[in-house]
Amino acid sequence: MAEDKMETAVGYEYDEYKESFPYSSAVEIVEVVSEIDLLDEGRDAKKPNDPRSRLMKMLDNLEDEVEGLRKNAMALEDKKETLLGNLDIIRQSQVVDVLNDDEKKEIEDYIDMISCRCKTVQIKVNTMRDQQQEESLHNVNSLIDSMVLNLQSDPLGTRGRCLSYLSSFYRYEDDNEVLVTIASKLQPMHADKGFENALLGCTLDDQKSVKRRLRGLLSYITNL
């Protein structure tokens, strides 16, 4: 049954892909390009079937595919970071401290094993940044890492700090999800100025990645 569902899903995605990008392989692209008569100087360049228009349409489709590839890879990269962050949260949780030595070692070894497996997945999407943007991203990540380290000693304060970081995004966009979360937890909706200043120096892609990471952390912290 699972295999049937997988085949159906794959088939659906392939059909959807074919609708948006009609060339199934590099060979087919070469064949299509070869059919274009580039020497036909008498053809009107404004006509939809002229060589330039056909080439531009193919390149537009390829550009869309590349952007889709980058988007999916970035989502996987964020997922990996979220998983590693959740493992660190469990490692530092108070629940682990109440275990006896043998149980604690068993849990820590299990966490190490999962972390090592997760780190075998190598995903890299390069984002163009200048020096200031690199420094801003480093500052943002340092603040989030510091927040996670304080979870065990101050879980309530860590949740409030995570919400204050997320409220930096709410100040600049209509994010009802963040508003509802803050209201439901009765936390003051005040953005952390240091975090906000660092965030504004990041690229748009990095800001989106940071937002997804904070949402994942908040969800995990709330469910502890």
pLDDT for res 164: 87
Low-confidence ranges of the chain (pLDDT < 50): 1-20, 37-39, 41, 45, 174-176, 178-186
Boundaries of every domain in the chain: 13-66, 127-224
**Token duo for residue 80:** 């990996």
Cβ neighbours, 10 Å, residue 210? 24
Axis-axis angle for helices 193-200, 155-170 (nearest 10)? 40
pLDDT tens digits for range 170-191: 755 544 454 444 444 445 556 7
pTM of the model: 0.54
pLDDT tens digits for range 141-151: 999 989 888 88
CATH number of 127-224: 1.20.58
User: What count of Cα atoms within 13 Å lies in the side-chain half-sphere of residue 41?
Assistant: 0
